[in-house]
């Protein structure tokens, strides 16, 4: 086997390992903010391969007031409700069966390039995550991506988030540990629109 062929296989194997790590790390608990400023290596880096999940303005008749975020976990769409019967729609990835948050919450905190730390429940379900128990610093390789919006109920953190991802190919699937993930470009757009106290409805 030639050296170039060996190098090619090594690159493919490394890419597979990194891709698997991105999916394995798809968690929700965050600690302090760390990493590059918002917008760093974001725009143009997360292609929306499937046109169904591209950010777009759509007609919306759900009845929620403008400024509300509505997540349809079954359809894999998040809507930011606008005025005049419109909404900005984003494709999302959702939690695996039985792990998704459902109900109403408010955005209690916002963070750019948050660090990630698996919860005790996540480690119990997936013991391999124990190696990340001390946390993963924020940045482009972090599974929470460019930004996170924290869901609160009654003033308490639910440990569920709307966040970016370093695995944009997962959009449209049920793969996470319960959080709602968007491409990094889309979470940056949603982050800019969203204020603390924004109502979130997850169905």
Catalytic positions: 163, 179
User: How far apart, in whole angstroms, are the C-alpha atoms of residue 167 and residue 18?
Assistant: 10
With contact defined as beta carbons under 8 Å apart, do 103 and 150 qualify? no
| Residue in 194, 162, 166 with CA at minimum distance from that of residue 179 | 162
Q: How far apart are CA 163 and CA 187, in angstroms?
A: 6
Q: What are phi and psi of 177, to 5 degrees?
A: -85, 20
Burial class (CB in 10 A: 0-12, 13-18, 19+), 182: buried
Tokens at 10, concatenated: 């090594």
């Amino acid at each position: 086997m030639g050296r170039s062929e060996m190098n090619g296989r090594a690159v493919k194997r490394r890419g597979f390992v990194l891709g698997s790590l991105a999916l394995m790390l798809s968690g929700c608990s965050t600690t302090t903010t760390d990493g590059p400023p918002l917008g760093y290596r974001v725009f143009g880096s997360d292609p929306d391969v499937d046109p169904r999940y591209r950010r777009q303005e759509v007609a919306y008749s759900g009845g929620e007031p403008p400024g509300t975020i509505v997540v349809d976990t079954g359809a894999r769409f998040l809507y930011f409700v606008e005025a005049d019967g419109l909404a900005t729609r984003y494709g999302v990835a959702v939690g695996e069966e039985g792990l998704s948050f459902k109900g109403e919450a408010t955005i209690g905190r916002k963070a750019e390039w948050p660090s990630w730390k698996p919860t005790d429940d996540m480690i119990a379900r997936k013991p391999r995550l124990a190696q990340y128990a001390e946390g993963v610093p924020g940045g482009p390789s972090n599974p929470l991506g460019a930004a996170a919006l924290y869901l609160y109920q009654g003033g308490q953190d639910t440990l569920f988030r709307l966040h970016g991802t370093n695995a944009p190919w997962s959009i449209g699937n049920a793969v996470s540990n319960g959080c709602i993930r968007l491409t990094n470009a889309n979470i940056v757009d949603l982050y800019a629109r969203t204020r603390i106290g924004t109502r979130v409805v997850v169905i």
